[in-house]
Amino acid sequence: MSASRASTRADVARHAGVSTAVVSYVVNDGPRRVAPATAARVRAAILALNYSPNVNARALRTGTTGLVGLVVPDIANPFFAELAQAVELALAEHGDLLVVADTRTDQATERRVVADLGRRQLDGLLLSTVLPPGELRRLGQPGQRTVLLNVSSPFDGYPALGPDAEGGAYAVVEHLVDVHGHRSVALVIGQSSEPVPAPRERGWGRVFQDRRLPPGPVLRTSFGRIGGYQAARQMLAWRERPTAIFTSSDEQASGVLRALREAGLSCPEDVAVVSFDGTPETEFTSPPLTVARQPVQAMAAAAVTTVLEPGPAPGYQQFATELVLRESCGCVGADARKPASPPA
Amino acid sequence: MSASRASTRADVARHAGVSTAVVSYVVNDGPRRVAPATAARVRAAILALNYSPNVNARALRTGTTGLVGLVVPDIANPFFAELAQAVELALAEHGDLLVVADTRTDQATERRVVADLGRRQLDGLLLSTVLPPGELRRLGQPGQRTVLLNVSSPFDGYPALGPDAEGGAYAVVEHLVDVHGHRSVALVIGQSSEPVPAPRERGWGRVFQDRRLPPGPVLRTSFGRIGGYQAARQMLAWRERPTAIFTSSDEQASGVLRALREAGLSCPEDVAVVSFDGTPETEFTSPPLTVARQPVQAMAAAAVTTVLEPGPAPGYQQFATELVLRESCGCVGADARKPASPPA
DNA sequence: TTGAAAGCGCTAACAA
DNA sequence: TTGTTAGCGCTTTCAA
């Protein structure tokens, strides 16, 4: 209502009878010391005038904005939503703000967005990319420090971090094979832009390699729920349907579960399902999902530290996933919980 | 790697043999006209020097940052994640960036966050508040235009928008009563800080009022999955358990569904469940949920227009929800889809 | 059509 | 311990 013009440090200086430098020292708690009495007067003036520093002016002067960007393929995907939340929390502890950009898993959009943010003088950029590695390298160094998120191996030229996707996939598929006796596990995985098989695929494949078993079928589809749903429908139409499915994301698993249900099949009795991510909703699906859970909090904290910390960037930080056993693999009280289902 | 210092408009001016003003005219396409030949020279220089304007300097000069804040209680809640995505998309079309802040449904955190963002010279603030209305009013006018999101009635002092929550709740509960013949519907709703009953509660209540029926039981709990789960567990322990449940959020419904399943009850046969929000995952729950769906895209677009558009702020904009009928109320092919379940 | 220059609010080097 | 002041890079008025 009031404030026809916000007060500036000059107003405060005048009001307190000091110089603007002193105001600055008080506001920033340095770099010079200020006499307690003077400081008190300045603080009183700040309160009286309801002064708050102009962030843009400071940014112009210091070259730092207190803003960190996060670029993700799909913020509505529970995994990225959880990641964004964790990153925001970690940033808040540093007094920094989170700028979110969503690329809709589209390469062109990502190019535009990254170029855009590169021009913005953010203090750092956290990037979960869908661009092929080669192109990313050609991106050159944008103004700010960039950390790659959600990658599963060292990435030349950038600090990077992510889950041990191969290990996580191995563990959860191995569980299906060794504990539940499945001889074959179908893989539902997102379209990869890389020439090498994605880590989740490698982990899955290695389980069978190690046991000299033929790997199960591979279905490449989109990462979302629909992708999982379609992949499962396809498989259920086969003459010989798989007894177990490993999906590369929780959302795909959600789609698979729906397809199973529509087909009148029960999980885990008819088809076991396990997935990768372990977002909170996996505890609430029907049945609850056995997953390789990503340590989201830890990765977010590390990402923020890496992007904000001065000094030489660490190369690659890998995070172990956690195998969470629930009902969908056949482990926990699967029958006690389904008194309504027939003996089959 | 290179750029020991980014080039400035002065570098470009020198390179092109013009003044800095002309560079500015070219970059901003105004406010003065520039001779085509000159403009071409300037553009060449910009390319040659890989120049891009310093956003902070411009922000300082013009007082606008190209940043809009979004404050939500829980970005990991699928509804807010979807909202954030839609807002980001709408902002991107304006060339603006989204700053996200998460209050974890905590009033103290929200106070801090809003004060923080208020000092940041953002171009606008989109606020989904958990503060009591009175306090919000006392917040006074922050620097930027603030639009309240997710409110269901006019809010004195702020432009605001949100779903017709009362109408949506009414429609979905009415469906349960009129079409499926339930005489009583339990309400699972989030803790409200308001003295008046929340709109969703009013809509639910009015269904019974209109029919001179006693309303069903009310369970106040948290908005999340756990809240729904606990509320349902509680109800299932009652001597007479409800035949239908309306939850105030999809996440609560997810919790209810899990509790039902654990208790060996089937939905909708034993207990029907309907909810409010209609996030994408409700199509994938078991069974798929009948919901009052919020028009997220439309609300996000309106929010962005309202916060960015100059001129007098519109007062309150309300959006109708859409009744989406699926299986959880008992509507669609509920038996055709469950060939594995016994006749009961 | 273009150039010169003031000044946005702040920080920090330098002087006192 | 405090004051003075030069810019950070940009936009835009005013003059040419």
pLDDT score recorded for residue A141: 61
Residues in chain B: 344
Q: What is the distance between the terminal CA atoms of chain B, rounded to a whole angstrom?
A: 71
CA distance A244 to chain B (A): 19
Question: Residue B8 CA to nucleotide C13 C1', Å?
Answer: 23
pLDDT score recorded for residue B342: 37
Question: Residue A217 CA to nucleotide C1 C1', Å?
Answer: 70
Q: Are A246 and A172 in contact (CB under 8 A)?
A: yes
CB contact under 8 A, B85 and A97: no
Nearest CA in chain A to B115: A52
pLDDT score recorded for residue B142: 60
**pLDDT in tens for each of the 344 residues of chain B?**
334 468 898 899 989 999 999 999 999 887 888 888 898 999 999 999 888 899 999 999 998 999 999 999 999 999 999 999 999 999 999 999 999 999 999 999 999 999 889 888 899 999 999 988 888 776 656 667 899 999 999 988 899 999 999 999 999 999 999 999 999 999 999 876 665 679 999 999 999 999 999 989 999 998 899 999 999 999 999 999 999 999 999 999 999 999 999 999 999 999 999 999 999 999 999 999 999 999 999 999 999 999 998 877 789 999 999 999 999 999 976 444 443 333 33
Q: Count of H helices and E strands in chain B?
A: 12, 12
Say which amino acid occupies A65: T
Residue B226 neighbours by CB distance under 10 Å: 18
CB contact under 8 A, B76 and A74: no
Determine contact: A284 vs chain B, CB below 8 A.
yes
pLDDT score recorded for residue A88: 98
CA distance B209 to chain A (A): 34
Nucleotides of D under 7 A from a protein CB: 1-5, 7-14
Give nearest nucleotide to A58 (CA–C1'): C10
Torsion B298-B301-B303-B309 (CA) sign: negative
CA distance A102 to chain B (A): 7
Residue B134 CB contacts under 8 Å (≥ 6 apart), including other chains = none
pLDDT score recorded for residue A306: 95
A105: left (phi over 0), alpha (psi -120 to 50) or beta: left
pLDDT score recorded for residue A164: 97
Residue B182 CB contacts under 8 Å (≥ 6 apart), including other chains = B176, B243, B244, B272
Question: Residue A10 CA to nucleotide D2 C1', Å?
Answer: 15
pLDDT score recorded for residue B228: 97
Q: What is the pLDDT of residues A268-289, one digit of tens each?
A: 999 999 999 999 999 999 999 9
Nucleotides of C under 7 A from a protein CB: 1-14
Is residue A291's beta carbon less than 7 angstroms from any atom in nucleic acid strand D? no
Q: Which residues of chain A have pLDDT under 70?
A: 1-5, 138-143, 192-196, 333-344
d(CA B80, CA B150): 10
- For B191, the 3-state DSSP assignment is coil
Q: Which of B56, B261, B288 sits opposite A60 (nearest CB)?
A: B56
d(CA B344, CA B341): 8
Question: Residue A8 CA to nucleotide D3 C1', Å?
Answer: 18
Angle at B239 between CA B237 and CA B245, to 5 degrees: 65
Is residue A115's beta carbon less than 7 angstroms from any atom in nucleic acid strand C? no
CA distance B342 to chain A (A): 6
CB contact under 8 A, B92 and A101: yes
pLDDT score recorded for residue B317: 97
B chain contacts of residue A341, beta-carbon cutoff 8 Å: 340-342
pLDDT score recorded for residue A344: 31
pLDDT score recorded for residue B141: 61
Q: Which of A102, A338, A341 sits opposite B88 (nearest CB)?
A: A102
Global pTM value: 0.93
d(CA B194, CA B210): 24
CB contact under 8 A, B255 and A284: yes
Q: Which residues of A159-182 are buried (b: 16+ CB within 10 A; e: fewer)?
A: bbbbbbbbbbbbbbbbbbbeebeb
pLDDT score recorded for residue B111: 92
Q: What is the pLDDT of residues A38-61, one digit of tens each?
A: 889 999 999 998 888 999 999 999
